[in-house]
Amino acid sequence: MTGEQPTPARFLLEVPFAAVERALLFLAGLFCIVVSAWDLGRALWPIGWWTMLFLLILAGTWAVGFAFMVAAVTGDAARWEIGPDGVLTVARRSLLRERRDRVRAVDVARTEIRTITWDSRADSYSVVLHLKSGERLETSDRTTMAAAQALATGLRRGLGLD
């Protein structure tokens, strides 16, 4: 054993996707599908003029339910980390796949703060890294512009873009 200590990260951002969140999303989707099928399934037989209306309602509830279930399975937990070498590592993991991207300062074309407009709450903000390859890496949203600017500053400083 050499006794080497790991070097601390210069920048760290974690966006968890807990198992409880996944389970709740999956159960919500399952609920949409099962309850609508149970309640409206009897209205489909015998076939009549009303059948098409109930099929449309069922299709809508099943689409929402399947969307929740897909989100539960494919949703990513992310970890953004810039080490002492100045390389950003973005590790994303879902139940189906794991992806790790490494970004150096020379790979970044520009950074921006994107405003996310909501109808039901105040606007939020996220930091977007535009890579020269055309890809975009976007952080989770922040509730204030100041928090997003601080995050963007930390990213630029860690990558050595300032």
pLDDT per residue as tens digits for the range 23-45 = 999 999 999 999 999 988 888 78
Q: Are residues 63 and 123 in the same domain?
A: no
| Domain assignment of residue 4, yes or no | no
Q: Are residues 67 and 87 in the same domain?
A: no
* CA nearest to 155, candidates 125, 129, 124, 126: 129
85 band by pLDDT with thresholds 50, 70 and 90: confident
Give the integer Cα–Cα distance in Å for 124 and 143. Answer: 5
Q: Which of 74, 102, 120 is the last residue of a domain?
A: 74
- This prediction has a pTM of 0.75
Q: Which of 34, 53, 74 is the last residue of a domain?
A: 74
Q: Which of 31, 57, 74 is the last residue of a domain?
A: 74
Over the stretch 88-140, which tens digit does the pLDDT of each residue have? Answer: 999 999 999 999 999 999 999 999 999 999 999 999 999 999 999 999 999 99
| Domain assignment of residue 67, yes or no | yes
